Amino acid sequence: MTDRKFVTGQFRKMWASALIAMVGGLAILWCVHSSTASPLMGRADPQAPILTIRVDGNGTGRIFDGVGGLSAGAASRFLIDYPEPYQSQMLDYLFKPHYGASLQDLKVEIGGDTNSTWGSEPSHMHSRDDANFTRGYEWWLMREARKRNPKIVIEILPWGVPGWVGNYHFYSLDMIDYDLKFINAAHDVHGIDIDYLGIWNEIRYEKEWIKSLKAAVLRNNAAHHLHTQIVAADSVHEGWQLADDMLADLSLRKAVDAVGVHYPVYESTAAARRLMHGTNPVPLWDSEDTYLIYPGPPAGVLAKQLNRNYIQGKMTRLVHCTLAAAFPKFFPYKEGLVQATSPWPGHYEISPALWAIAHTTQFAQPGWQYLDSASGLLDDGKGNTIGSYVTLKAPNQSDYSIIIETADATTSQQINVLVASGLSSGPVHVWHSDIRAGTYFAREPDLPGGVNTLNLQPGSIYSLTTTTGQQKGDCGPPPADVPFPLPYADNFER
């Protein structure tokens, strides 16, 4: 998170020059072995171009690293105060696999006793001699996420620290020790292994300090049997500058396991895409982004980000800011997948953006491979981008999923899809969100092995897959919202 006035102003400027005419649309012709009419068959725009996508099991691409949610800046504060069963319902919608958002990554703030957006998160070390590893609610949230999904990736990142750290100099040996104490407490006290450690949220990095941090983390990993890696630099103003520095400095390149940038607007740089660790590309991540500062419905914005980040920037992870808007309702920037502003009656709301994420997370897991030759942008034949599609292949070399968004389309368009080279010829399961109609994550009739013509509607998200197990979780309606009960008294000791 950053100065939203600055970011919004900058991105409005970008979008003013980059907004495309919203015309065209999408339909899909599925070619496997024989001809079968699909119940979803419909008329396509006869003047729209027809694209053929070859889904080749021998195709290549980067490895998918998952979709995450951010808990930072006191955005999740009210979650822990919700009564049951409503607290568990929200957590299931966020973290339970094949149920809701099915988040594959959780990124939390290392509290620093400083205002970090919507409030302050408490430090585990108020002073050099203080150490409390149950203070705050991020420990609880990490445990709840791992309880629902033992495979979820956990990332941590500081926004600020108490002044005693480095005597007000953040990039210090004190700061390294401060980070390591949090990592070790997560493991020893809470049974949580931290997968990634960031350096400092949206603040200019120091190259030599990153190297020192990496060396200390490797020593700590060996001593405590951990596997923590480094993601840097969670930049917004510097963009992908760290990639240039890594290309010029081999020791820095070895110190950074993944490069994360905030609000990249689908794009990385050629230098970032050239970064390699041996024979493998260095992972590039959209390590903080949100639907709120882009034009359009939240579900459409997120669907575009998830697809186009990879197509245009080869970014393989997106962390959405935030997983919950769990703070007083008069606060601005309610960009959560769950809106949780009224714990007293247990009232909450699910954002349509949650189901946009489900269109990816319920159909591909970290470790699946993008197929570059079966991923791309859709256009209306006049140079206007109206949608996008990505294809991912499972490690079993048979199953695959295709995620398509037509967020900017106004009419339909045919696409021919040919599946080849050992990929499954079994039934293809179809899930659809119609953003304009406000219907999300609905199961459509399966496509049998054969030729099927799908009329994919404009303003839609589609997931097509040979896998099973997807579902739209439904806990029923939460309680109605009511005003805060007054009078109220609290001794503030809890």
Q: What is the DSSP letter of 80?
A: G
> Is 335 a residue of the active site?
no
Residue 153: enclosing H or E segment and its boundaries? strand 153-158
How many Cα atoms occupy the beta-carbon half-sphere of 440 within 13 Å?
22
Nearest alpha carbon to residue 363 among 463, 217, 224, 261 = 463
> Is it true that the peptide bond before 466 is cis, omega within 30 degrees of 0?
no
Q: Under a CB-based contact definition with an 8 Å cutoff, are residues 470 and 100 in contact?
A: no
Catalytic entry in 288, 405, 444, 493: 288
SS3 272: helix
Token reading at 382: 């006049």
Strand, coil or helix: 366: strand
Which of 8-16's residues contact partners 24+ apart within 8 Å by CB, and which partners? 8/293, 11/263, 11/265, 11/293, 11/294, 14/265, 15/294, 15/295
To the query of whether residue 202 is one of the catalytic residues in this protein, the response is yes
What number of CA atoms fall less than 13 Å from residue 443's CA on the CB side? 11
State how far the Cα of 194 lies from the Cα of 186, in Å rounded to an integer. Answer: 7
CA distance 155 to 138: 11
**Token code pair at residue 291:** 């639907």
Catalytic residue among 121, 144, 202, 335: 202
Q: Which residues of 243-275 are buried (b: 16+ CB within 10 A; e: fewer)?
A: bebbeeeeebbebbbbbbbbbbbbbbbebbbeb
Catalytic residues, by residue number, are: 202, 288
